[in-house]
Amino acid sequence: MPTTLELASQLRDQFPDLISAPAEFRGEVTLVVADAERIAEVCGFAKAKLGFDMLLDLSSVDNYGDDPRWTVVYELYGLGSNVHVRLKTNISEEKSELPTVCGVWRTADWHEREIFDMMGIRFAGHPDLRRILMWDGYPYFPLRKDFPLAGKPSVMPESAFSRSAPMDGGPFITSTSIEGATLREPRSRNPEN
């Protein structure tokens, strides 16, 4: 059976200009895809030729303050080879759009809807790109770093509304490094207060 690094190298050999050298950390291999526009092509090859027949997860990262702002992470898994490979690709905030991989793995449908709902990254060619957790018409993307934990007020007539939650000095954080059970209790550790 091929090893993780062998399969990762085969993927890189197919797209030598596009994909970085495999980086291994704690037994997990990550590849960075330079051009997000070609992610569907890379994923299609990985599934068809290298046996990555399962998309474990599809998630996004907000590198707030950096450019490019978004990182989209694809966790690929081959049931036959028992190999797990991670693909990462970056998108700028101005663009905020990359091709869908729904045509490769159907499970990507809801993952991409969740990323669209929480982060506001669009997936070109997605069959049904609607919000999946928040309601239609909610004006914000709540997992972005510049969105407050307490939320923002909004009104969607006849379907939903939202308000800011009272933080009361929070968030309340447990510090596991502190000696003593009493002091480890959740406390207000907001630097702004």
Minimum Å gap between C-beta 159 and another protein is: 7
Q: In angstroms, what is the C-alpha Rg of the chain?
A: 20
* Beta carbon nearer to another protein, 15 or 147: 147
Separation of alpha carbons 6 and 12, rounded Å: 10
Separation of alpha carbons 125 and 54, rounded Å: 20
Separation of alpha carbons 170 and 188, rounded Å: 5
Residue 187 β-bridge partners: 173
Burial letters 90-106, b for 16+ CB under 10 A, else e: bbebeeeebbbbbebbe
Q: For another protein, which residue of 21, 165, 173, 178 counts as binding (CB under 8 A)?
A: 165
CB-side neighbour CA atoms (13 Å) of 110: 5
Q: For another protein, which residue of 49, 106, 145, 163 counts as binding (CB under 8 A)?
A: 163
Record the tokens describing residue 108, joined without a space.
């990507």
Contact between 44 and 104 under an 8 Å Cβ cutoff? The reply is yes
* Beta carbon nearer to another protein, 81 or 154: 154
Minimum Å gap between C-beta 160 and another protein is: 5
Contacts to another protein from residues 93-112, by CB under 8 A: none
Minimum Å gap between C-beta 163 and another protein is: 6
Contact string (CB under 8 A) for another protein, positions 123-162, x = contact: ----------xxx----x-x----xxxxxxx-x-xxxxxx
* Beta carbon nearer to another protein, 125 or 186: 186
* Beta carbon nearer to another protein, 65 or 166: 166
* Beta carbon nearer to another protein, 73 or 132: 132
Contact between 123 and 129 under an 8 Å Cβ cutoff? The reply is yes
* Beta carbon nearer to another protein, 124 or 149: 149
Query: Tell me, what amino acid is at 119?
Result: M
Residues in contact with another protein by the rule CB under 8 A: 133-135, 140, 142, 147-153, 155, 157-163, 165-167, 170-171
